[in-house]
Amino acid sequence: MVSKTVRPYLLTRPKHPDLIKAWEEFWVRYILKMAEEENLSLVSVQELRRREPLSQMDEVSFQAVIEVLIERGLAKWWDKKRGLLRIYWCGPDYWIKKLIESLRARPTGIVNGVDGAVELVPELASLPREEVEELLKLMVKRKLARWVNKKRRVLKILPI
């Protein structure tokens, strides 16, 4: 579990350039670890802001943390109003591995679209639907699976 007790000096972005990098690293690790532990992929900025210890930060420091995540490609705005943040605490390989493990445990090795993938790996429900669909396409592209019915997004896992 991510520690909710954070030293007070970490709640404000430092002014000295030598300290900024360490401060950014701390918060990037903190948020990614929290997202992983809670299987949090899509979160409203308001919800994130209300969470301890982020709620104790001044607004400028909080916004700086969000911008660092975005600049590093670890998060992106999910909507035009910048109210939803997509946090990338793991990449597609992580999810594909989980899907393949689950599919290999099935006698048929078939997944029936996005809903079937979420049924197999419930943690996928935290991802936006279009990203789960992209995972299925990526599995076919990497020759880990083949389409049984491309229109319905039904695919079959290929033997090792």
CATH 3.40.50.800 given to domain 8-87: no
Give the SS3 label for residue 1.
coil
**Predicted pLDDT at 94:** 96
Q: 145 has which bridge partners?
A: 157
Q: What is the predicted pLDDT for the residue at 107?
A: 87
Q: CA angle 101-107-108, nearest 5°?
A: 95
| Distance (Å, whole) CA 26 – CA 24 | 5
**pLDDT score, position 49:** 95
What's residue 4's pLDDT? 56
pLDDT at 44: 95
pTM of the model: 0.85
Low-confidence ranges of the chain (pLDDT < 50): 1
Structure tokens at 104: 């290999």
Is the preceding peptide bond at 17 cis, omega within 30 degrees of 0? no
